[in-house]
Structure 1
Amino acid sequence: MDASPPRKRRSFFAYASAMLGLLSVFAVLCFHFPELLTSKEFRAVYSEDFARHLLLVGLIAAFILGTVSILRDRNKRIAAVGVGAATLAVLIGGTNVQFDSIGQTPYSLGLDWFVISLFFSALVFVPLEHYLGKRRVSPLRKGWRTDVAYFFMSHVLVQFILILVTASTSTIAGLAAFPALKAAIQSLPVWAQFLIAVFVADLAQALLHRAYHNIPWLWRFHAVHHSSREMDWLAGSRIHFVEIVLTRSAVLLPLLVLGFSAPAVNAYVILVGLQAVVAHANIGVRFGWLEYLLVLPRYHHWHHARQQDYIDVNYAIHLPLVDMLMGTFKLPRDQGEWPAEYGVMKLETVPEGIVAQHVMPFQGGRKFERYVD
């Protein structure tokens, strides 16, 4: 019997074109319906001119990358999606969509937050992982579509997540008032408040994180996050909606109770957003003694290791000191030693796909025929 023809390699240009084309369509929709599709909080971070120039760059890149891929006969259908989506974005207005002042609505989606965040995250981490990665893993590795769906969910639903987190913490924070302690903390310089906030928030997160691993019904939610079989910047997005709300509430509550100033809390929010991505990234740089001061990729990768003696260690996301105090610090001294495999110990307990994974925690720990692998 003749051997089957070798499978063509996926074209990065084609998939990049498809991503940029679809993001361009989303961006144009944001210009058409800014009240409904853009986040008020995030709109304050960028200007209208910046958004229009970024859209123009995305459109041009989608056309060029898609055309090159088609001419090279590489993933022509995927490339056609990119070129077609970019064409659609131009036809429905492109960078010329005009709008009046943005009104107020009871709710809005963070589609702008998704578009800009995905664009710049991919722009930074895809080449970074290509050149500095510990493992040779394609950005289009198995499961990437599921992780993009999680990335979409957590960014687009950012306002609803904030509403749920605020509702779950504001009442408790109001009851647990410590005026003298709040005054003492707020009298400190912002940099000192920031450092204390990082430690307090990380301790709260680590305690809940350990509970996720040791309480069966909580583990079923957290198992979704650990189901990624490859670790990269996108894998950290795979988090069950319930876990997002629980974790952010657990972190926000002590910060509200202790009364940290808004600048200190905002600085912490920026840090956690960056470090959560970096900790999961496929970056094999040797950081030396810094690995004992900050949670860096190798540290958190060992937490995700599919290895029995690492299933109850390295819960911190910022400071290894927190794990040292909890007695859960563990890291091979050899900086060249990394996990051989990632994922949950019982693969068959986590199904494939974002919808099935969101239903899974409510199914009593059953096993699935189509599971992560």
Structure 2
Amino acid sequence: MSRQRRSFFAYSSALLGLLSLMAVACFHFPELLTSKEFRAAYNEQFARHLLLVGLAAAFAMGTWAILRDRNKRIAMIGVGSATLAVLLGGTNVQFDAIGKTPYSLGLDWFVISLFFSALVFVPLEHYLGKRRISPLRPGWRTDVTYFFMSHMLVQFILILVTASTSTIAGLAAFPALKDAIQSLPVWAQFLIAVFVADLAQALLHRAYHNIPWLWRFHAVHHSSREMDWLAGSRIHIVEIVLTRSAVLLPLLILGFSTPAVNAYVILVGLQAVLAHANLGVRFGWLEYLLVLPRYHHWHHARHKDYLDVNYAIHLPLVDMLMGTFKLPPKQEDWPEEYGVMKLETVPRGILRQHLMPFQGGKKFDEYVD
């Protein structure tokens, strides 16, 4: 008997139903589950309207899948989760003023970010994708778990990064240089910050590839066998802390203004998703100005000629200065295969992948494929 084809409506219902249930939990426990920094980016009314849309879509898509007898168990997860969300108060959950807590999780950041990322990139990759791959490709559960972890732990990661950079930045302060930089317009500070941060990150990125013990952490990111908007989420937590520290440190030392740094952070989030996305659009000369999908895809290529190239995250100029810029001349040329050269060195699953760097280059029977 042939395997039943996965239903887009069933899985979408499950996703939206579970996200809706998480959103209701955020309304019940805002001090614990929502990030103070991210709450400033949206208001309560927006969150309630978004929850209503999620609930309605989960019920509609799940019911349609059940009536069509397509992945009914998955569809029932969506309908059941949405029903439980409504029983727990739905869009009518009331709460008092949000108090201060020493820490909080970023469940609201995960819910909203995943919802809008999927809403934008799933259709784009379907119609403009270079490769015909399903959003439910092998490894998607692992990558969603990475996405969940990095968003839920955002405040703790920021605490670790801040602790590792603030003292050094304070010791290396240059008041005259800070005053000169902050006297510039915000747009000029932003452009300089992008170049400085990209250069710092590219140097560390190259170290990841050339120092064996660092590579074991970075190999997790390169283990994705398909490239899409979600693949960029697969990053070991040690690498997240190291990379964000390396980027934040020069920005703190040089004294860029808060608006300039915030603008840079927004760019990082957008370009990280875009660079990994499965988009076969021809960008022409822009590929030499900005890091776009084809440029970064060649960095992830399972190809011996592209093992030490294209380290920049934002500006190909950085690779040109480092001597590591490389692109095939024809825009039709894309990698045929992605992943680490030695597949057996990276196991499946987020837990085993987090333990892998500490196991000294061990080979695994169940590895990424």
**TM category, shorter:** over 0.9
Counterpart for residue 359 of structure 1:
355
Residue 297 (structure 2) aligns with = 301
1:76-115 matched pairs, under 5 angstroms: 76-115=72-111
Q: Distance in 2 between matches of 1:98 and 1:275?
A: 36
Q: Which amino acid aligns with 1:132?
A: L
Q: What's the CA shift string for 1:203-225, capped at 9, x where partnerless?
A: 00000000000000000000000
1:360: Cα distance to partner?
A: 0.4
Following superposition of structure 1 onto structure 2, how do residues 40-55 of structure 1 map, counting pairs within 5 Å?
40-55=36-51
SS of 2:4 mapped into structure 1: coil
- Which residue in 2 is equivalent to 1:36? 32
Deviation, structure 1 residue 49: 0.5
Q: Distance in 2 between matches of 1:93 and 1:219?
A: 47
Number of the residue aligned with 2:195? 199
Aligned to 2:170: 174
Query: For residue 290 of structure 1, what is the amino acid of its counterpart?
Result: L
Give the counterpart of 2:17 among 16, 21, 36. Answer: 21
Letter matched to residue 229 of structure 2: W
1:279 to 266, 275, 281: 275
Q: How big is the shift at 1:331?
A: 0.3
Q: Deviations over 1:1-37 (max 9, x none)?
A: xxxx222210000000000000011000000000000
- Structure 1 residue 179: Cα displacement: 1.1
Stretches of structure 1 lacking an aligned partner (at least 5 in a row): none
Q: Map 1:268-347 to 2 at 5 A.
A: 268-347=264-343
C-alpha separation between the residues in 1 aligned to 2:124 and 2:155?
A: 30
Matched, 1:123 2:119: yes
C-alpha separation in 1, matches of 2:318 and 2:82: 47
Unaligned runs of 5+ in 2: none
Equivalent residue, structure 1, for 2:153: 157
Q: What RMSD in Å do the two structures reach over aligned CA positions?
A: 0.4
- Code of the residue aligned with 1:27 in structure 2: it is A
Cα distance between partner residues in 2 of 1:57 and 1:265: 33
Q: TM-score, normalised by structure 2?
A: 1.00
Q: How many angstroms does 1:229 deviate by?
A: 0.1
Counterpart of 2:233 (choices 225, 228, 237) is 237
Provide the identity percentage.
87
Q: Are 1:257 and 2:214 counterparts? A: no
- Distance in 2, matches of 1:106 and 1:175, equals 27
What are the superposed Cα offsets for residues 243-266 of structure 1, whole Å, 9 maximum, x if unpaired?
Answer: 000000000000000000111000
TM-score with structure 1 setting the length:
0.99
Equivalent residue for 2:139, pick from 132, 139, 143: 143
- Is 1:69 aligned to 2:69, yes or no? no
Q: Using the alignment, how far apart are the partners of 1:51 and 1:192 within structure 2?
A: 34
- Encode CA deviations 1:114-144: one digit per residue, 9 max, x unaligned: 0000000000000000000000000000000
Tell me the distance in 1 between the aligned counterparts of 2:173 and 2:254: 8
Mapped partners of 1:242, 1:117: distance in 2: 22
Q: How far apart, in 2, do the equivalents of 1:91 and 1:367 lie?
A: 48
The number of residue pairs the alignment matches comes to 369
In 2, distance between residues paired with 1:312 and 1:12? 38
CA displacement at 1:279 relative to structure 2:
0.1
Which residue number corresponds to residue 214 of structure 1? 210
After TM superposition, what 4+ stretches of structure 1 lie above 6 angstroms from structure 2?
Answer: none
